[in-house]
Amino acid sequence: MIIPQHILMVISLAAVPHAQLFWAWIALCVALALHVIDEAATGFLSVYNPTVMALRQRWPWLPLPVYTIRGWLAGLVAVNVLLLCLSIFVLRGARWMRPIGYVFAAVMFANGLVHIGGTVRGRTVASLRFPRPMPGFYSSPFVILAALYLLCEL
Domain map of the chain by residue range? 19-153
Q: Which range has the worst mean pLDDT, 50-54, 77-81, 131-135, 150-154?
A: 131-135
Q: Does the pLDDT of residue 20 top 80, yes or no?
A: yes
Taking each helix axis as running N to C, give the angle between helix 140-153 and helix 97-121, from 0 to 180 degrees, rounded to the nearest 10: 150
Q: Taking the model in full, what pTM does it have?
A: 0.82
Residue 129, strand partner residues: 123
Q: How confident is the model at residue 3 (pLDDT cuts 50, 70, 90)?
A: low
86: three-class secondary structure by DSSP:
helix
**Cα end-to-end span (Å), the chain:** 37
Q: 96-135, pLDDT tens digit by residue?
A: 999 999 999 999 999 999 989 888 887 777 777 777 788 8
Distance CA 123, CA 120 (A): 8
**For position 102, what pLDDT does the model report?**
96
Distance CA 127, CA 36 (A): 25
